[in-house]
Structure 1
Amino acid sequence: MSSSNQDYLFWISVAHLVPQIGFVSSMLFGVILLFLTVYGASKIFGSYKYLLIAFTLLGMAFSTIEIIVFPNVHNYRAGFLFFSFKETFGITDIRYWNIPLAAYTFFSATISLLSVQFIYRYWAIFDNSKLKYFTGCYSLIWVGYCTFFGLQYALGTFFFLKLDEPAAYYLREEMLIRYHVNVTDLPSMALVAYDPFDGSVRWFNLMGIVSIFVIVNVQYSIMIYCGWSMHTQMEDKIKNFSENLKKHHKQFFKSLVMQITAPTLILFIPISIINFIPVFNFDISFPSGALLCSFTLYPAMDSMIVMYVVSDYKHAAKKAFRRAKAVFRDKSVSRVESTTINSHR
C-alpha cells in the first residue's frame, strides 16, 4: 500500500466531518438522556443515577474536545504519527502545542468510568452493603480512579510519544507525499518502533504502547470479571428480588454489555491495530485517523443504548411528551379564547 504516491487529503475531510456529526448527535441525545435521568428516572436508580449523569457529561466533553483539536493519525511502516492541522487555542510555542493532543487522550477516563459502572452493578447484586462507597465523600474514590487512569494515558502519550529527530526523519517524506506538510510544522506525537539510522529497538517509544496496553486492559479485566460473574450468577442472586427490581438489574446489565461492545468495535480494536502494527514493520501506509474518528459517535450511541434498553426512560419520555403536549394544548386553547374575546369587543 505504500508504493503509491497518492495523497490522503480526502480522508482528512472525513476525519473532520465525522466528529462534527458525532458532536451534534452527542449533544442532542446527551441532553435528552440527562433530562430524563434528572427529572424522569425512577428512584430505584439510587446513586447509579449520578454515574449515568457523569458518564453522559464526560462523553459530551469528549465530543467537544474532538472538534476543537481535530486529531488525525497516519500509520507508515514501523511508525505512526498522531497529529493535528490546527494550533489549538492559538498555542504556537513548540513546547506546549502538543498539550491539546495529549488532553484529547484523556478519553480513557470514559472507559474507566464504564468499568466503575460495572463495579456498581456487580455490588448491587452480590454485595449491596458496598454501595456506600458510591455515596457522600466516598464517591471521590471513583473521581480519583477515573482521573488517575485518564492522566496516565494522557501523560504517557505526551512523554513517551514525543516527536524526536529520528521519528521526524523517518516520517518527513511520507507526510510530504500524503498531506503536503512538513512533520515538524504540526502539533504531533509519534511512535517509531525501530531507529531509522541503526535499526535498534526504540524502547522509550514502545513504552507508550505498553502504557496504553496496561491502562486499557486493567479496565477490560474489571469489566470482564464483573460482567461474567453477573452473566453466570445473576439469576440465582436476584431470584428473591421483586419483579420490578429483577427487570431493573437485567436491563442495566444488558445496557452495560452493549455499551462496552460499541467502544470495543469502534475504538479499542482500531487503537490496538494503530498501536501494535508498527512493531511488525509491514510495508504499509494508510490514514488510520479515518478509523479513530468513528469513536466520536460513541457518546450518542451510548445515550441511545441506555434510553432504548432501560424501560424507565421510555416511561419517562412518554410522560414528558404527554406533559409537553398538554402544555401546548392549553396554550393553544388560551390563545383561541383570547382571540375570541378580542373579536367581540
Structure 2
Amino acid sequence: MVLYSSKTEPFLSTSSDMVCATEFVRYLHLIHYIGFVGAQSLNAVLVFLIITKSENLLGNYRYAMFVFTLCSMVYSMVEILVQPVGHMKGSMFVVFMHSSILNATNPLAEFLTCLHCVLSGFVASLLACQFIFRYLAVCRTHFLVHLQGINLCLLFIPSIFVFAVWHFGFFHGMPNTLEKQIFLREELQTCFNVNTTVNPFVGPMYWTKGADGQIHWNIFELISALSCFAVLIICFFTIVFCAYSIFMKMSNSIHHLSAKTLDLNKQLFRMLCIQTVIPMITMYFPVALFVTLPMFGKDIPYLGNMTSSSLAIYPIIEPIIAMTCVASFRKAIKGSIRCSVSRSTQFAIHPASSPRLTDQKQ
C-alpha cells in the first residue's frame, strides 16, 4: 500500500476554490473555441498567402512555413476535440480530457489526449527547423544545394525525432494506471467533476512516499518526462545558436548583400524571433514550471489551466506574426482590405437601381 505525504493533499479544498476552478474551466473552454476558430481562419489565410505570394520571394523556405502552418491547424483541431485541462497535485502533473464535443468513452479519446501533448512539442520543434533553414540560407549557403526537391524533407528530421521521443513518452512512458486514478480521483471529481476511471488523462507520477516516509522514484516515468523536456531544450538552444549566427552574419554583410536580399533576411529573422520570444514567455516558461515543479512536490494554483490557455491561443499568434512581418503578405492583406472597403463605399454611394423604379421611368 502506498501512502502519500501531506503535500499531496488537494489544494482546492474550499467550496469557493471549487467554484473558482469550475468557472476557470468554463473560460478555458471559451478560449479553446476562440483559439480554434481563429487558428483555422488565420492559418488558412496564411496558407493562401504562402501559395500565392511567396514563390519567387521565399523560395524553398515557403515549404517550411507551409508545413508549420498546416501542423498548427492540425494541432488546433485535436485540441478542440480534447479541450484539455492541466492540473498539478503533489508529485504529478496531469493533462485530462474535458471535452464537450467528444465523449470520454469514445475509443479515440485516450489516443487524442496523448496526441495533443505530442503535437504541442512537435509544433514547437518545427520552429527550430525554420531557424535551421534560415541559418543555412544566410550562413551556410552552399548546403542549400542538398535541400532541393525531395531532399528538403531532411530539414524536418529534428522534428520527427522530437515527435518520436514525445510519442514514446506520452503514449508509453506515462501510463494511465490504477494507482494514478486513485491518487487523483477525489480532487478531480471535486474540482472538475471528472471521473478518473472514465476520463482519459496522461501525466507522470515522479515519486511516491512509502509507509516508512521514504521517497520512491518512478525512474521510467521520470526519464520519459525528462526526455521530452530535454529535446525541447535542445531545440531552444538550436534556435538561440541559429539566431545569433544569423544576426552576426547579417551585421557583417550589410555592404555585401543587395538591399532587397538584406531586407528579406531581416523580415524573416524578425518574424522568427518574435515567433520564438512571445511563446517562450507566455507558453514555454509556464510549461517548464508545470513539468518540473511536481518533481519537488510543489505546485502553483491554476498554472495548469493558464498553460492550457496559452497553448490554445498559440496557433492564433503565429500566423498574425507572419502576416505582419513579411512585407509581401502585409501588402496583400492591406490591398484586400482596401479593395473591400472601396467596393463597400462604391455600393453605398451608387446602390443598384430598383427594377421597379427603372420600369416606371421607362
For the superposition of Structure 1 and Structure 2, which TM-score range results when normalised by the shorter chain? 0.7 to 0.9
Amino acid of the structure 2 residue aligned with 1:264: M
Residue 118 of structure 2 is aligned to residue 102 of structure 1: no
Residue 16 of structure 2 is aligned to residue 4 of structure 1: no
Matched residue, 1:233: 249
Asked whether the equivalents of residues 39 and 73 of structure 2 are also in contact (C-alpha less than 8 Å), the reply is: yes
Asked whether the equivalents of residues 84 and 97 of structure 2 are also in contact (C-alpha less than 8 Å), the reply is: yes
Alpha-carbon offset, residue 108 of structure 1:
1.7
What is the percent sequence identity of the aligned residues? 22
Q: Deviations over 1:123-159 (max 9, x none)?
A: 1111222223443110222344423322321331121
Matched residue, 2:273: 257
In structure 2, runs of 5+ residues without a counterpart are: 1-9
Amino acid of the structure 1 residue aligned with 2:70: L
**Distance verdict in 2 for CA 1:336–1:55, change over 3 Å:** farther
Q: Deviations over 1:162-185 (max 9, x none)?
A: 122332232222223322333222
Residue 258 of structure 2 is aligned to residue 242 of structure 1: yes
Task: Find 2:88's aligned residue among 75, 93, 107.
Answer: 75
Question: Superposition pairs for residues 307-326 of structure 1, below 5 Å?
Answer: 307-321=323-337
Matched residue, 2:65: 52
Task: Find 2:145's aligned residue among 117, 122, 132.
Answer: 132
**Distance verdict in 2 for CA 1:201–1:124, change over 3 Å:** same
Distance (whole Å) between structure 2 residues aligned to residue 214 and residue 134 of structure 1: 27
Task: Find 1:302's aligned residue among 301, 318, 332.
Answer: 318
**Matched position secondary structure for 1:80:** strand
Residue 223 of structure 2 is aligned to residue 188 of structure 1: no
Matched residue, 2:155: 142
Amino acid of the structure 1 residue aligned with 2:204: L
**Distance verdict in 2 for CA 1:85–1:320, change over 3 Å:** closer
Asked whether the equivalents of residues 107 and 150 of structure 1 are also in contact (C-alpha less than 8 Å), the reply is: no
TM-score, reference length from structure 2: 0.84
Task: Find 1:158's aligned residue among 171, 185, 208.
Answer: 171
**Distance verdict in 2 for CA 1:282–1:175, change over 3 Å:** same
Matched residue, 1:121: 134
**CA RMSD of superposed structures (Å):** 2.9
User: Which range moves more in the overlay, 235-244 or 61-70?
Assistant: 235-244
Matched residue, 2:232: 216
Distance (whole Å) between structure 2 residues aligned to residue 194 and residue 19 of structure 1: 32
Asked whether the equivalents of residues 209 and 276 of structure 1 are also in contact (C-alpha less than 8 Å), the reply is: no
Alpha-carbon offset, residue 87 of structure 1:
9.2
Asked whether the equivalents of residues 307 and 314 of structure 1 are also in contact (C-alpha less than 8 Å), the reply is: yes
Distance (whole Å) between structure 2 residues aligned to residue 152 and residue 320 of structure 1: 43
Q: Deviations over 1:299-331 (max 9, x none)?
A: 221111112122222222234446667888999
Asked whether the equivalents of residues 50 and 62 of structure 2 are also in contact (C-alpha less than 8 Å), the reply is: yes
**Matched position secondary structure for 1:83:** strand
**Matched position secondary structure for 2:207:** coil
Structure number with higher relative contact order (C-alpha < 8 Å, ≥ 6 residues apart): 1
What count of residue pairs does the alignment treat as equivalent? 344
User: Which range moves more in the overlay, 176-185 or 315-324?
Assistant: 315-324
Alpha-carbon offset, residue 212 of structure 1:
1.4
**Distance verdict in 2 for CA 1:190–1:146, change over 3 Å:** closer
Alpha-carbon offset, residue 214 of structure 1:
1.6
Distance (whole Å) between structure 2 residues aligned to residue 309 and residue 91 of structure 1: 41
Matched residue, 2:6: none
